[in-house]
A and B are shown apart, each in its own frame.
Chain A
Amino acid sequence: MELTNENNSGVEETRQYLIFRSGDLKFGMDVQYVVETIINHPVTRLPMLPEYVRGVLNLRGEVIPAVDIRLRLGQPAEDDSTIIVLHMDGVQLGILVDGVERIVKLTPKDIQPMSQRNTQKLFCGMCALPEEETIMMIDVRALLENTP
């Protein structure tokens, strides 16, 4: 995990974000909510759940739900062998992604708010990185609370 994209205005609060890939989009989320990344971990299907909930997985004795982030955002599913485990306020959630890229440091300045017309509550901002990389910032709380 190389640290790139250091910002010049070091005075403001910099936070670290994990960038991951899913479909042809890139997403970022605050590292403080990320517990770990696991690969090739079996997920048990449970019936009667929306498609984006792939089921549950066993993480060292804990039963954690596994959500496919692409399906959650309304995109088709693809390669999904990587799972990022998130943790907030005692609630855990695993999200299936294509792959994890790197961690970047960003300040609030670097993140633009979503446009007024945006209805996707899971996003809380966008960030443009050098080399034409656009990162959609994920609102982890909205993801975990999953209110429709």
Chain B
Amino acid sequence: MDNDGNESILDTYLYETNTLLEQLDNIVLEAEQADTFSEGNVNEIFRIMHTIKGASAMMEYESLATVAHRIEDLFFIIREKGMDAVPEEAHPDLFEMMFQSIDFFRGEVEKIESGQPLSNDIDSFLQKINSVIDKINGTAPAASATAAPVAAETGNSPIGGGFPYRVKVFFDEGAGMENLRAFMLVTEIRAMCPERDFTFFPSDVETNSTTTDTILSEGFLLAFRRGEDREKAAKLAAASGSVGSYQTMDQQEREEKKPQRNDSAPEEKKRESEENVPVKAAAAAAGQAAPQHTKESLISVSLSKLNQLMDVVGEIVITESMVTSSPDLKGLKLDRFTKSARQLRKLTDELQDVSMSLRMVPVLSTFQKMQRIVRDMGKKLGKSAKLTLVGAETEMDKSIVDSIGDPLMHIIRNSMDHGIEDTEAERVAAGKDSVGEIILSAMHTGEDVIIQVKDDGQGIDYDRVLQKAIKVGLANPEVEYSRKEILNFLLMPGFSTNSEVTEYSGRGVGMDVVKKAVEEVGGTVTLSSEPGRGMTTTLKIPLTMAIMDGMEVQVGGCIFTIPIINIRQSFKMSDTDVIHDTSGGEMVKIMDVFYPVVRVKQLYSIPEGAEKIEDGIVMWVESGECSYALFVDELIGEQQVVVKPLPNYINAFNMKQHGITGCTILGDGSISAILDVFNLYSAAL
């Protein structure tokens, strides 16, 4: 299934299966909360399993198809008998089994994605599913003998219950010694199927040659517990030289499902329709998946095409700027041209907005994945906690939504592992609800999206953190650290307050990796914590990094771009307005508040440039909580720029730490470095 032509089929399969698994996760989570599967749930699950079964069969992923088939069978039973048929004690098993199945599917799909072979060992799964089915039916599948007429081909059932998958083998006419041939077949089967999982009739073919008569008249009956063993046996029979024909049939299973039907015909039809299903199901897969959403007309577009579109739009913005501010036009009076240029500008702005919005998706899907984590961890750690989602419909660029998934997972794991108290008693004693709560929220603030993970657990033990920081050499025992500084230690590499490594956290790999991942998409991470009350992790991510409004400024011979949103105001001041603080740093007073002054010329050791304050401009800039005055030579003008990352070669010199976060190509082809107001200040300190 890996030929070039089939790659897009594979992509579709992976995409659809993953989407269905996500839906399944949500349904089962919801059902678990309610401790029952509603009729709607059952139908949906049935439909999803049916689709996965069909599509997997078409792609020849037998193991997936088989497991999906069993679950489909299970839910068929639940649908027919109603959820009440499932005994209360079996509920947790049912839910647990569903989750495990979902994980199994996910695991296999990941293997497909990375080109690894799939596991054929699905027996444990089928056993689990079978055992749940058994519980629903009360006992082992021998129970209902009422539907006897259903035993289609051969009215008699010489083999008891427990071996529903059967093959009846007929040998070639005149082959001779049929009993021994039957025995040889049994020997072959024994090689691949454990004794207890199959049986046969007549059972004394090895020793009793009179069984030949039975075999000739009624065929040799093999019965298996498991469907896949039956399939293997059928293949063996087919490959055997003396076998003339064989029939496969299922016993009793069908009885369970259709207590009403009394004739064999529907059974046959069902089997046939099962076989035909793979083809139809795959075709219908796309159609069946769609009705999940509201009736919007949707189309799925490959991300690479969207990236391409974004690149071209970016280039158009630059080129439009190059045309309209071309030096050739300097000084000319061009009224109609200017009018058209303005029109063009408006249109490119709109084009830019729309193409940007194409990549915006709600964070909902990523947030919902966290539900599973909270549930699974809660069970494993024996803590009860619930996850509340706020603002999940907030939209962000798809690539960013994808990349915050892992960091969020880690933060939530931390909250579950370290944050939420170990016992409900502790929580109640602290005056909290016995069930812990983690609030995961997303919110727009103009240019950024703020994502917060807030737990109401124990909060950070500042002393313990400081001790650990000193121990790993990140902190100096002599120095007194503020709470904020202590929190910063958590974000450094190699830090962890767990003396042992649990499965989930404590490897000391955590928060700094989160920080790095968030910074890679241009965001920042801040922590805050109230001992005993809980901890909040805040991610601030710019909505879009690609195109932004900037102010070009000149310092010495260099041109820099400062994002407009970081500029509050610009002033003309003089040397007399500058006040010096105790350590020799400069400050100016803006609106009755003093702000430190950062001289770009000094910070970057630029040879030329204004020295006296009156020869330059003071810009009041701000980023987050950081607010200060930046001294430059002059303001050149406002410009919409396309942010280009610095070449890696240059980035290796830690430019970001010095406040240079990227560069852009100006209208005249020259390059301007883009300043990061926040980092620049840290560099200046």
Contacts and interface: CB of A to CB of B under 8 A. Distances in A.
A15 interface: no
A63 B663 contact: yes
A76 interface: no
A61 B322 CA distance: 12
A114 interface: no
A65 B650 CA distance: 7
Interface in B327-347: none
A44 B606 CA distance: 13
A45 interface: yes
Contact of A63 (B605, B644, B655): B644
Interface in A52-89: 53, 55-58, 61, 63-65, 67
Interface centre among A46, A47, A63, A67 (most CB of B within 10 A): A47
Contacts of A58: 665, 669-671
A98 B171 CA distance: 90
Interface string B26-56: 0000000000000000000000000000000
Contact of B653 (A53, A56, A93): A53
Contact of B604 (A47, A67, A91): A47
Contacts of B604: 47-48
Contacts of B673: 44, 46-47
A28 to B, nearest CB: 22
A27 to B, nearest CB: 19
Contact of A56 (B315, B318, B557, B650): B650
A107 interface: no
A44 B650 CA distance: 13
Interface string A27-51: 0000000000000001011111110
Interface string B595-618: 000000001111000000000000
Nearest to B672: A44
Given A44-B670, A46-B660, A48-B604, A61 B649 contact: no
A43 to B, nearest CB: 9
Q: Which of B315, B644, B672 has the most CB of A within 10 A?
A: B644
Contact of A92 (B559, B647, B660, B672): B647
Given A65-B650, A91-B649, A92-B647, A48 B669 contact: no
A46 B670 contact: no
B665 A48 contact: no
B648 interface: yes
A87 B665 CA distance: 21
A56 B655 contact: no
Nearest to B671: A44
A39 to B, nearest CB: 16
Contacts of A48: 604-605, 653, 655, 658, 660
A92 B672 CA distance: 19
A93 B605 CA distance: 25
A147 to B, nearest CB: 9
A26 B649 CA distance: 25
Contacts of B669: 42, 58
Given A47-B606, A48-B604, A63 B649 contact: no
Nearest to A49: B653
A146 to B, nearest CB: 6
A122 interface: no
A55 B671 CA distance: 10
Given A45-B557, A63-B644, A50 B653 contact: yes
Contacts of A49: 650, 653, 655
Contacts of A50: 653
A91 B651 CA distance: 13
A138 interface: no
Contacts of B649: 53, 65, 67, 91, 93, 144, 146
A146 B652 contact: yes
Contact of B648 (A42, A55, A56, A91): A91
Nearest to B600: A47
Interface in B637-683: 644, 646-650, 652-653, 655, 658, 660, 663, 665, 669-673
B558 A47 contact: yes
Instruction: Specify which of B648, B650, B672 lies most central, judged by the most chain A CB atoms within 10 Å of its CB.
Output: B650
B671 A63 contact: yes
B558 A56 contact: no
Interface in A17-33: none
Interface string B302-334: 000000000000010010000000000000000
A61 B665 contact: yes
Contacts of B606: 47
Contacts of B663: 46, 56, 63
A44, A57, A64, A91: most-surrounded residue (chain B CB, <10 A): A44
A135 B122 CA distance: 66
B660 A64 contact: no
A56 to B, nearest CB: 5
Contacts of A92: 647
A50 B559 CA distance: 19
Contact of A46 (B318, B603, B644, B655): B655
B665 A63 contact: yes
Contact of B671 (A47, A56, A91): A56
B282 to A, nearest CB: 38
The winner among B655, B660, B665, B671 for most chain A CB atoms within 10 A is B671
Nearest to B558: A45
A146 B653 CA distance: 11
B410 to A, nearest CB: 30
B647 A65 contact: yes
Contacts of B658: 47-48
Contacts of B315: 61
A129 to B, nearest CB: 31
B310 to A, nearest CB: 15
Contacts of B648: 91
29 contacts: A42-B670, A44-B558, A44-B670, A44-B673, A46-B558, A46-B650, A46-B655, A46-B660, A46-B663, A46-B673, A47-B558, A47-B604, A47-B660, A48-B604, A48-B605, A48-B653, A48-B658, A49-B650, A50-B653, A53-B653, A56-B646, A56-B650, A56-B663, A58-B670, A63-B647, A67-B649, A91-B647, A91-B648, A144-B649
For the complex of A and B, 4 pairs with smallest distance between CB atoms:
A47-B604, A44-B671, A65-B649, A48-B658
Interface of B: 315, 318, 557-559, 603-606, 644, 646-650, 652-653, 655, 658, 660, 663, 665, 669-673
Interface of A: 42, 44-50, 53, 55-58, 61, 63-65, 67, 91-93, 144, 146
Given A57-B671, A58-B671, A65-B647, 20 more contacts: A42-B670, A44-B670, A44-B671, A46-B650, A46-B660, A46-B673, A47-B558, A47-B673, A48-B660, A49-B650, A49-B655, A53-B650, A55-B671, A56-B646, A56-B671, A58-B665, A63-B646, A63-B647, A63-B665, A146-B652
